[in-house]
Amino acid sequence: MEKQDYINGCEENLLHVYNRFPVVFDHGEGMRLFDTDGKSYLDFGSGIGVMAFGYGHPDYTRALHEQVDRLMHTSNLYYTPQLMRAAQAVCRASGMDKVFFTNSGAEAIEGAIKTAKKYAYKKTGKAGKNVIAFNHSFHGRTVGALSVTGNEHYREAFYPLMDGVRFADFNDIDSVRPLVDEDTCAIIVEPVQGEGGIIPAAKEFLLGLRQLCDENDMLLIFDEIQCGMGRTGHMYTFLGYDITPDVLTTAKALGGGVPVGAFAVSKKVGESSLQPGDHGTTYGGNPFVCAAVTASIELMESLDLPGHVRKTAPYLEEKLDELCKKHPDKVLGHRGLGFMQGLILSPDVKPGDVVVRALEKGLVVLTAGSDVLRLLPPLIAEKSDIDEMAEILDGVFMSF
């Protein structure tokens, strides 16, 4: 079949909720994707932060092949060895105490919200508790996740959403304090805002949130669905801040390409929140996805990918600095942590146009917000890959 035949076939049968680029990817190898025409693309999007090991890593694929042949699903009515190993791996990697496996990041957010509400309910015997979230945040597309997503564009068509959500300004602790009252049960925050423009939280801001939650016995929820799993140079970003949440959400690279998410909690929260009958999932934590979770975490540990990111990220930032200096009328600056970086573009350069021209030159990049080009390379990226990315983007910016 020709490329256009695949595109036409998809458009005929798929609900049109994505404006896809006219590329049909067929397979991947290492840092590269290949389309049905055989063209090679350097991947600096990693499936929106999912493919931490690139494509076709033999240790990862071997673990999945073995599990497919052994057992795929049983339901959560039973224990499996894979469930034990995956739970142990997540708790070891995050430092949290208890974990619940979901099918996606959005479902992890839903579980985190329910955990906070049940924690407050058990403490006070009263429902209807409020949550504080942040402007320009993104937590997912389900109704609960949309309710704490601070972007009206995503929310406006789907009201009424969950009641009791109040929005403060990211990195502004003074905007948070007036929103806290006796009915507030949680604060949910991304340590690095992703869709909002690749904006890292200041340590003082997160410390302030931790203090507010401690003073008021509220739960602090860190959404590390995008910034977690080694991307910012630590297995989870909060480990670099030395600030521990009460609830952690994780997904994307957690499964290395297999759809899986999780929310993890401290011992205190685990003992005083959800109990049998409060929450559940048919597919979550099945043997196949748990094998992927264990393989992903063990591979990340054995390769020390967080350490590789810490070592290599300064070179990435150096090359981004060079692009800013060479194209000051098109690139206003950059920001981010580790391998989660954003180039801030001038109003005359639209991120979507850069993505299209980069694709034409064999580079996959992403957007974030209305003015940021997002770079989320696989965590195996080397300096030579960064050089190639910078050279292609240099040519793209010269074309405007």
pLDDT at residue number 128 = 87
pLDDT value of residue 39: 98
What per-residue confidence (pLDDT) applies to 305? Answer: 98
- Model confidence over 114-147: pLDDT tens digits? 999 999 999 999 998 999 999 999 999 999 999 9
Q: Which residues are within 8 A (CB) of 54 and not within 5 positions of it... i.e. 6 or more apart? A: 28, 29, 30, 31, 32, 43, 46, 378, 380
Region 184-206 average pLDDT: 98
Percent of the chain surpassing pLDDT 70: 100
| In the chain, where the domains are located | 3-56+304-398, 71-303
Q: How many CB atoms lie within 10 A of CB 4?
A: 10
Answer whether 77's CB lies under 8 Å from 71's CB.
Answer: no
* Whether this model's pTM surpasses 0.95: yes
Over residues 11-23, the mean pLDDT reads 95
CB atoms within 10 A of CB 173: 17
Spatial CA neighbour of 108 closest among 72, 60, 141: 141
* Residue range 262-276: mean pLDDT, rounded: 97
Are 43 and 31 contacting, i.e. CB atoms less than 8 angstroms apart?
yes
Average pLDDT over residues 338-359: 97
Q: Is 71-303 in the same CATH topology as 3-56+304-398?
A: no
Please state the rounded mean pLDDT for residues 192-216: 98
Return the pLDDT at 394.
Answer: 98
| pLDDT score of 184 more than 90 | yes
**pLDDT of 326 strictly over 90:** yes
Phi first, then psi, for residue 244 (nearest 5°) are -100, 130
Class of domain 71-303: alpha beta
Rounded CA separation 149/147 (Å): 6
Evaluate if residue 257 carries a pLDDT over 90: yes
- Which architecture, in CATH terms, is 3-56+304-398? Alpha-Beta Complex (3.90)
Closest of 393, 359, 395, 392 to residue 20, by C-alpha: 359
Q: Give the pLDDT mean for 69-96.
A: 98
DSSP state of 291: H
Confidence (pLDDT) at 180: 97
pLDDT digits (tens, 9 = 90+) for 151-168: 999 999 999 999 999 999
Residues 6 or more apart whose CB falls under 8 angstroms from that of 155 comprise: 146, 147, 149, 161
Instruction: Give the residue-averaged pLDDT of 249-268.
Output: 98
Residue 13 token pair: 């049968």
As a whole number, mean pLDDT of residues 371-388 equals: 98
Count of CB atoms within 10 A of residue 302's CB?
9
189 DSSP β-pair partners: 222
Element (H, E) at 175: none
Sorted by sequence, the CB contacts under 8 Å of residue 236 that are 6+ apart come out as 93, 94, 222, 224, 228, 229, 248, 250
Whole-number pLDDT of residue 285? 97
Q: What is the DSSP letter of 201?
A: P
